[in-house]
Amino acid sequence: MRFTWKKGAILSAVSILAGSVILGNVLQDTHADAVPTTINGVQDAVYETADQVLHASDQGTFSVGGMLMDTDGNVVYVQHNNVVNNDLTFDPTAHGERQMIDWYYENKESQNLPEPENIVLVTSLDPCAMCTGSILQAGFSNVVVSANDTYAGINYDKSALFPSLAGTSMQAAAQDSFSYPAVLGLTEKFSRKATGAPVSSVFGENVAIEDQTYALTSTAFDATLSDVSAKINTDLPENELLDPKTLATTDPIYLALKAAYPHALEYTAPSPNAPDEGLAPYLIEAAEQDIANGGDGNAVALLDTFGNLIMALPGNQAVSEIQTPFMLTTRGYAKLRYDLQMNGVADATKYLGHPKYNTFIYAKGMEINPQGLADFGAFGSTMEGAIPTDRTQFQYGVPRATQAELDAFADGLPPFYSADDSVNVHIKQTANQDLIAALEAGLPTTSK
């Protein structure tokens, strides 16, 4: 399906979205199947992402959409944000760009997709840190961006210089591939000069966005941001959570935990947020599987607010280079909660609280590279907003970058990730020296 709006119809859509009229959960699929065959010009491309923006709004999730196209102008795939479905958090990492890149990796061989240098990604909103890292890992030739995002977008200062990536090769890569086309309009709010890299030659001479199409992509996201955020931030406060270790072994929550991760609840830290060497065997086992799955021998464990081990998972980078252990752990926990709620298990969120009360522990620390950037961003998306400041929710065992390097990188991320009153994505080495020693001695040394 392709919208054939006149300009007045576009303005009507903007008006509806700006009034925060979020339509019901009509769409249950994850993307629109019908797409145009070819794209002619930047306006045409952004116009098509606006279709996905409205699908996202219809679903009741954040109004962001995008597409992949080849350098012949053919549409390869379209997708929209799927963080929320059925008024529940479905997957905090299900931003349009991250999903499209996973889809690209998963289908590249079977569908004989073009090489990354022959792919253009078009998005209705400036990519967040998670999506930027995913895009840079993929190495697409051009990223065409419509609306600005001055809070979480990688171009939050609108300079197209990407100071958050300063001192890394990622900065030059973003400067060479991220395009912010001119918006043709007479208003200050809905017009701009072109910045960033030149848009791909596939667009010919049609390299600008019409102001009314731009207004839809911008206003739609703004309209859904507060409503959707309020809808999904309804978890119980920490002091009302219940310990899943008290569940009967026949309880559906207990059974779901064991189905998701057979070792769930086998380990409990001596105090919440402070794992000891007893966690090491679970991380080591997962790290060994990570190598078999195409990774470099890393793993991430998730402890709940009581210190219970909920899961310790490897990545699956043989399937997709951005399926890191952290990505699969946070997605796995979200799926666990979502499935239980959709199955009518009323007490699910009493025993499985918001991830901001949990602790994520890497076997090996993050690296300052595209996958590390994506993980920093995914942590922010998982937390969704301000987090408790009396603990370290983000930890690692064996370092791969210095603490000073990690701190400086986190400090330079867009405001959503670095502001004191927001997520503040700093990752710290675990304080338990016995856990560090056990990981150093036991983690596999073979890597890809």
Clarify whether residues 374 and 279 are in a common domain: yes
Do residues 244 and 304 lie in contact, with contact meaning Cβ atoms separated by under 8 Å?
yes
- Domain range for 351 is 238-442
How does residue 7 score in pLDDT terms, banded at 50, 70 and 90?
very low
Predicted confidence (pLDDT) at residue 37 exceeds the cutoff of 70: no
Hey, what are 23's tokens?
Answer: 């339509």
Q: Tell me the mean pLDDT in the region 40-57.
A: 95
* Look-up of token digits 């890394």: 168
What pLDDT, on the 0 to 100 scale, is given for residue 249?
Answer: 98
Predicted confidence (pLDDT) at residue 23 exceeds the cutoff of 80: no
Q: What angle (nearest 5°) sits at the alpha carbon of residue 162, between those of residues 187 and 168? A: 170
Residue 281 covered by a domain: yes
Clarify whether residues 158 and 283 are in a common domain: no
The Cα–Cα gap between 416 and 228 comes to 17
Clarify whether residues 337 and 387 are in a common domain: yes
The Cα–Cα gap between 228 and 292 comes to 38
Q: Tell me the mean pLDDT in the region 347-355.
A: 97
Clarify whether residues 260 and 355 are in a common domain: yes
Query: Residues near 423 by Cβ (< 8 Å), separated by ≥ 6?
Result: 379, 380, 383, 384, 385, 386, 387, 416, 417
How does residue 446 score in pLDDT terms, banded at 50, 70 and 90?
low
Encode burial over 406-416: b for 16+ CB neighbours within 10 A, e otherwise.
Answer: beebbeebbeb
Q: Using CA atoms of 247, 253, 257, 258 in order, give the dihedral in degrees to the nearest 10.
A: 70
Clarify whether residues 261 and 227 are in a common domain: no
What pLDDT, on the 0 to 100 scale, is given for residue 204?
Answer: 95
Clarify whether residues 178 and 262 are in a common domain: no
The 10s digit of each residue's pLDDT in 206-257 is 999 999 999 999 999 998 888 888 878 889 999 999 999 999 999 999 999 9
Q: Tell me the mean pLDDT in the region 321-333.
A: 98
The Cα–Cα gap between 78 and 64 comes to 11
Clarify whether residues 410 and 314 are in a common domain: yes
Query: Residues near 270 by Cβ (< 8 Å), separated by ≥ 6?
Result: 276, 307
What pLDDT, on the 0 to 100 scale, is given for residue 26?
Answer: 27
The 10s digit of each residue's pLDDT in 90-105 is 999 999 999 999 999 9
- In 3D, which of 225, 176, 170, 190 has the Cα closest to residue 46? 190
Clarify whether residues 289 and 358 are in a common domain: yes
Length of the chain: 448
* Look-up of token digits 């990688």: 154
Residue 11 covered by a domain: no
Q: What is the CATH number of the domain that holds 229?
A: 3.40.140.10
Query: Residues near 448 by Cβ (< 8 Å), separated by ≥ 6?
Result: 291, 294, 295, 296, 317
In sequence order, the β-bridge partners of residue 436 are none
Query: What is the distance in angstroms between the CA of the first residue and the CA of the last residue of the chain?
Result: 43
- In 3D, which of 138, 152, 142 has the Cα closest to residue 106? 138
* Look-up of token digits 């073009």: 114
Predicted confidence (pLDDT) at residue 30 exceeds the cutoff of 80: no
Q: Tell me the mean pLDDT in the region 135-163.
A: 98
Mean pLDDT of the chain: 91
Predicted confidence (pLDDT) at residue 3 exceeds the cutoff of 50: no
Clarify whether residues 265 and 407 are in a common domain: yes
Predicted confidence (pLDDT) at residue 29 exceeds the cutoff of 60: no
How does residue 20 score in pLDDT terms, banded at 50, 70 and 90?
very low
Query: Residues near 40 by Cβ (< 8 Å), separated by ≥ 6?
Result: 73, 204, 206
Q: Tell me the mean pLDDT in the region 37-51.
A: 92
pTM, two decimal places:
0.92
Clarify whether residues 132 and 210 are in a common domain: yes
Q: How many domains does the chain have?
A: 2
